[in-house]
Amino acid sequence: MSSPSPSSAPAALSWQLIEDARERIAGKVNLTPVLTSSTLDGLTGARLSFKCENFQKGGAFKARGATNAVFTLSETAARRGVATHSSGNHAAALARAAALRGIRAYVVMPDNTAQAKRAAVNRYGAEITWCAPTMAARENAVQQVLAATGATLIHPYNDLLVMAGQATVAVEFLEAVPVLDVLLCPVGGGGLISGCAVAAKSIKRDIRVIGVEPKGADDAARSLRAGRIVPVERPDTIADGLRATLGELPFAEIRRLVDDIITVSDEDIVRAMRQMWEVLKIVVEPSAAVAYAALLNPPSALRSRRIGIIVSGGNLDLDQLPWRVAPNN
Amino acid sequence: MSSPSPSSAPAALSWQLIEDARERIAGKVNLTPVLTSSTLDGLTGARLSFKCENFQKGGAFKARGATNAVFTLSETAARRGVATHSSGNHAAALARAAALRGIRAYVVMPDNTAQAKRAAVNRYGAEITWCAPTMAARENAVQQVLAATGATLIHPYNDLLVMAGQATVAVEFLEAVPVLDVLLCPVGGGGLISGCAVAAKSIKRDIRVIGVEPKGADDAARSLRAGRIVPVERPDTIADGLRATLGELPFAEIRRLVDDIITVSDEDIVRAMRQMWEVLKIVVEPSAAVAYAALLNPPSALRSRRIGIIVSGGNLDLDQLPWRVAPNN
């Protein structure tokens, strides 16, 4: 295992940070299983391995980064608690990590947050501040919380410790399946793919790392072409976990290490999600199906390759599915 | 690991048959993962491990028994093929095992068989004979097939080699989690629980083995009380895999080794199935949720125990679910 050459850029994600993260979160998060399927290999003409972060604590990879960030805090900082604004999996992951360390978590959530996600954050005993469902209101509210409490902000992705935690997905994946030629990874704010790109290329220099994102939230593809972050004004996709705009820290690693970004339609995301439920027998959320969706019409470069697919999470409302369902009793 | 004391009864399932089965099917079926969940431990007040046969080849434990039976055949017998009547997971498992060995499979199916199950049997290249959807028509049709082809009948559960194959579920389970106090197992025709009871008690003499079945198909509970097989005239349950009547060979082992049979309502089966989807993030069919359903109102003897739950399969129609689902796009 070779380390990446030291970068002169400030605040780059190093292999050392990832190794530290791995040791720090061991026993506090799950080592998730890798699944294979000869049926899906046959359908796609490739050899697929699925790293199942839907089986992670809290149902998503977010547990890794949040746990790493929370357990890195000094005693003094920890005593003042941690804070974030998020309506999704990061909020629950941070609440859980804080509970594990026995410190307070302050979560700012938009008042239109789904019931299931409120419940997850509540379960871990976080203190919730409600705000209007706009980014300005969220940021304003979290600044007030930070000022009032002295808590440390743990950003969902624009944070090296969070990125280092998410990177452990790729470390475990390559330990389980060292022969991978390609790693396919969903892209939202970029925390997962940036961490996994640094980890994967540190372990295996010639592996290709490819991001996949919804056509309706294709800021990573646009940004990589433009050489600077190009936000999508109004993201429009069923993959609710991938609507965030890339962070600066993840983008730096993506520019440096990610080989390509593929975009997929919502129609293909739903078809992929359903195939994964039906054949792999796993419950995955739409955001977690985008990497496999790229293989429904596989680019020729992916044919016959050994492909690692990161399945990011499995949190969704079972009363609301993106296909027609008739009651059977 | 101690062997069970040799039984004087003819045609009993021995530990040797199970060891042979394990060796014979190694590499031809999956070693399935075991999942745990602190959320479900909290809900039930016990320490649960789930052995996930929904991740087995063909999506159900049936691959084990069928593969063992097919690969035990002599060359001469194998050349004439294998036959069964089944509309469910055993038919597909037998078709797959026959395809692996390169021999013919003849499957008699009722003409009202669901499309998904026809497709699975077809995919493995089995020869299908259609018949009316009655047990008499099925048995008559399979007799004609046997007479015409000289194929060997592989019964879905009333067969020692099939039982020995299914027993490998418990062998793997206790290797992965040696501390189990109790094994909870669904009961249909009895192939799975009889094999698992012999295996589990051979490995760990004091483990309790408890069968779980739907109230609307409670022939195992009735039969255990009566000391003889008491069929349920018209089984009525959502757990379509558990409507079969106990076989003679499995029943002999159940009487000898199974400590108790618990019955569960269809309402609890659906609630358990949904909790498993939601929390464990796995797709399981109703029949595979009955063992966990027994823990929704856990008998006091199961509180705080280390309980192994066998999840038998994950084949069901995703367009038809036993709860209300609204489309979300």
What would the two tokens of residue A315 be?
């949190």
pLDDT in tens, chain A (329 residues): 444 444 444 479 999 999 999 999 999 999 999 999 999 999 999 999 999 999 999 999 999 999 999 999 999 999 999 999 887 899 999 999 999 999 999 999 988 877 777 888 888 899 999 998 887 898 899 999 999 999 999 999 999 999 999 999 999 999 999 999 999 999 999 999 999 999 999 999 999 999 999 999 999 999 999 999 999 989 999 998 899 899 999 999 999 999 999 999 999 999 999 999 999 999 999 999 999 999 998 888 888 899 999 999 999 989 989 999 987 65
User: CA of B35: which chain A residue's CA is closest?
Assistant: A55
pLDDT at res. B5? 46
The per-residue pLDDT of chain B, averaged, comes to: 93
Is the alpha carbon torsion for A167, A173, A176, A177 positive or negative?
Answer: negative
Q: How confident is the model at residue B101 (pLDDT cuts 50, 70, 90)?
A: very high
| Of A199-213, B53-67, B230-244, minimum mean pLDDT range | B230-244
Provide the CATH number for the domain around residue B178: 3.40.50.1100
Q: Does B59 touch chain A (CB under 8 A)?
A: yes
Tell me which of B30, B89, B281 to substitute to probe the interface with A (most A C-beta atoms closer than 10 Å). B281
Q: Does B318 touch chain A (CB under 8 A)?
A: yes
pLDDT at res. B106? 97
pLDDT at res. A4? 47
Verify that B37 and B168 share a domain, yes or no: yes
Verify that A168 and A140 share a domain, yes or no: no
Q: Is the pLDDT at B326 greater than 90, yes or no?
A: no
C-beta atoms surrounding B96 within 10 Å: 26
Which of B78, B128, B84 lies closest to B100 in space, CA to CA? B78
Q: Could you tell me if residue B327 is inside a domain?
A: no
The pTM (predicted TM-score) of the whole model is: 0.93
Which of A257, A134, A121, A260 lies closest to A196 in space, CA to CA? A257
Residue whose structure tokens are 């452990």:
A168
pLDDT at res. B306? 98
Min Cα distance B236 → chain A (Å) is 12
Q: Is the pLDDT at B3 greater than 50, yes or no?
A: no
pLDDT at res. B8? 43
* Domain termination site, one of B131, B153, B175: B153
- From B49, B86, B87, B223, the catalytic residue: B87
* Domain termination site, one of A153, A172, A207: A153
What would the two tokens of residue B21 be?
């089965």
For residues B244 and B213, the answer to whether their CB atoms sit within 8 Å is: no
Torsion of CA B195, B197, B202, B204, to 10 degrees: 140
Which of A47, A50, A44 lies closest to A298 in space, CA to CA? A44
What would the two tokens of residue A70 be?
């929370």
Q: Report how far residue B255's alpha carbon sits from residue B187's, in angstroms, rounded to the nearest whole number.
A: 13
Range of the domain at B125: 63-153
pLDDT at res. A136? 87
Q: What ipTM describes this predicted complex?
A: 0.91
Chain A residues within an 8 Å CB radius of B33: 33
In tens, the pLDDT along B175-204 reads 999 999 999 999 999 999 999 999 999 999
For residue A311, what are the β-bridge partners?
A52
Verify that B37 and B109 share a domain, yes or no: no
Q: Could you tell me if residue B1 is inside a domain?
A: no
pLDDT at res. A2? 44
Verify that B81 and B147 share a domain, yes or no: yes
pLDDT at res. B117? 77
User: CA of A33: which chain B residue's CA is closest?
Assistant: B33
pLDDT at res. B119? 82
For residues B284 and B60, the answer to whether their CB atoms sit within 8 Å is: no
What would the two tokens of residue B2 be?
């101690």
Q: How confident is the model at residue B116 (pLDDT cuts 50, 70, 90)?
A: confident
Query: Letter for the amino acid at A164?
Result: A
Question: Is residue B11 packed enough to be buried (19+ CB in 10 Å), middle (13-18) or exposed (0-12)?
Answer: exposed
For residues B187 and B166, the answer to whether their CB atoms sit within 8 Å is: no
Question: CB-side exposure of B299: number of CA atoms within 13 Å?
Answer: 14
Chain B residues within an 8 Å CB radius of A329: 238, 266, 270, 322
Which of A67, A53, A32 lies closest to A164 in space, CA to CA? A67
For residues A296 and A271, the answer to whether their CB atoms sit within 8 Å is: yes
Q: Could you tell me if residue A3 is inside a domain?
A: no
Query: Letter for the amino acid at B208?
Result: R
Phi, then psi, of B146 in degrees rounded to 5? -60, -45
Which of A110, A159, A151 lies closest to A132 in space, CA to CA? A110
Total domains in chain A come to: 2
Verify that A187 and A288 share a domain, yes or no: yes
Verify that A133 and A208 share a domain, yes or no: no
* Domain termination site, one of B127, B153, B179: B153
For residues A172 and A32, the answer to whether their CB atoms sit within 8 Å is: yes
Q: Does B277 touch chain A (CB under 8 A)?
A: yes
Which of A193, A281, A21 lies closest to B312 in space, CA to CA? A281
